[in-house]
Amino acid sequence: MALFTKQEALDYHSEGRPGKVEVVPVKPCSTQKHLSMAYSPGVAESCMAIHEDKELSYKYTGRGNLVGVVSNGTAVLGLGNIGAAAGKPVMEGKGVLFKVFGDVDVYDINLDASDPDKIIEIVKALEPTFGGINLEDIKAPECFYIEETLKKEMNIPVFHDDQHGTAIVTAAGMMNALEISGKKVEDMRVVVSGAGAGAIACTNLYKGMGVKPENIAMFDSRGHINKSRENLTPTKLAYATDKEYGSLAEALVGADCFLGLSVKDIVSKEMVKSMADNPIIFACANPDPEITYNDAKEARPDAIMGTGRSDYPNQVNNVLGFPFIFRGALDCRATAINEEMKLAAAKALAALAKEPAPEYVCKAYGVDKLEFGIDYIIPKALDLRLIEFVSVAVAKAAMDTGVARKKLDLDAYRVELRERLGASKKRVSDFIATYNLDF
């Protein structure tokens, strides 16, 4: 049953103040003195301090808690290339999630530009404004080039969530699925349906976990990616194998893991039945997976399965990652989000799933309990402990790998995060009450 009608969704975005976000001042502006400090002449003091030391922009402006969500609307959700203006509601929504889950402020930047070099030029010029850049809904292969170039040329974290968010969450699920099934990562045979940004990033992270490249079979819309194929992009060529599979069904025979980031209904019950014992299945096509949860479990009750849907166990939801990854990166003033930080986030998510779920989480999802096992290998998005587990792990990895410009006392930081989230939720609640909003 649908949770809402089309009209309800349109009303949600249009009634009252249009859109989903607004800018709210955080300093008093009720007296002449306040105004003179906020703008002229008092603002000159902070301007000149930053002019002498650019790092002071993190002290005297909101830059240190501000992320730019940048998109050109060429690969929006399941909607495709709908353009920057049509993609803006998604980017505003991303800002809402950043704020609610991680207390990170966001400006959404929607660019009417398709030339990757033009996008790079624009985003680079925005560096003085932001503490980090979240690239969003930019189509492959351009997104790879844009992200890699910006990472090299900017001194703040640049993160393409469509790639790395899904990778981190499924990597966490795989870590726990390996433990439950008794499989060894170095022996895993993985079949991937899809060769876009998310699929490539997931597979790259799995390699970082220990999956051998020769044990990976990746498929795009033209079939299996192998060395006999011509005109492969560099990202696809990295997964071209000597062995050739004639079909997805052939590759899945005896496979330990299936990752789907492609289209619905391309995996049958028979294909799932042919997989190895305790198959690990991440069917993440959105909104309808490559095979439904019910069909996969009917075919193989021993399957450890996740989808992008919230109405079945083990939801692969990027909100488990990006608010907390940026929170940790911003707080230690990281210059990048590197592979070690991504793996640290995945390990933190895996660890949290092993902790007993609080009563409020169970109540929110309409269950009596949530315990580590095949139906609970990934934490739930409404678990308030996520910010402590993930952000602390990310900040520690940043410090350990030398990309942090600020040293944090991790025990004190954990307490600070808990208090910060509580204060943020109170501000949001007070705002809702003040404006008589119904959320």
Binding residues for a divalent metal cation: 136-137, 162
Listed in sequence order, the residues at least 6 apart from 182 whose beta carbon sits closer than 8 Å to its beta carbon are 278
Per the annotation, the verdict on 206 as an active-site residue is no
Can you tell me the distance from the alpha carbon of 349 to that of 271, in angstroms, rounded to the nearest whole number? 30
Q: Beta-carbon neighbour count of residue 222 at 10 Å?
A: 10
Question: DSSP string covering 336-390, please?
Answer: ---HHHHHHHHHHHHHHHTSPPPHHHHHHTT-S---SBTTBSS--TT-TTHHHHH
- The terminus-to-terminus CA distance of the chain in angstroms comes to 21
* CA proximity to 278, closest of 259, 298, 256: 256
Can you tell me the distance from the alpha carbon of 170 to that of 307, in angstroms, rounded to the nearest whole number? 10
Which structure tokens are listed for 298? 């009917």
Can you tell me the distance from the alpha carbon of 388 to that of 210, in angstroms, rounded to the nearest whole number? 27
Can you tell me the distance from the alpha carbon of 352 to that of 414, in angstroms, rounded to the nearest whole number? 15
Q: Which of 6, 59, 88, 94 is catalytic?
A: 94
Interhelix angle for 339-353 vs 161-181, to 10°?
Answer: 50
Can you tell me the distance from the alpha carbon of 200 to that of 191, in angstroms, rounded to the nearest whole number? 12
Residues flagged as binding site for (S)-malate: 286, 317
Per the annotation, the verdict on 227 as an active-site residue is no
Residues flagged as binding site: 136-137, 162, 286, 317
* CA proximity to 102, closest of 432, 390, 411: 390
Q: Which of 12, 33, 39, 354 is catalytic?
A: 39
Residues catalogued as catalytic: 39, 94
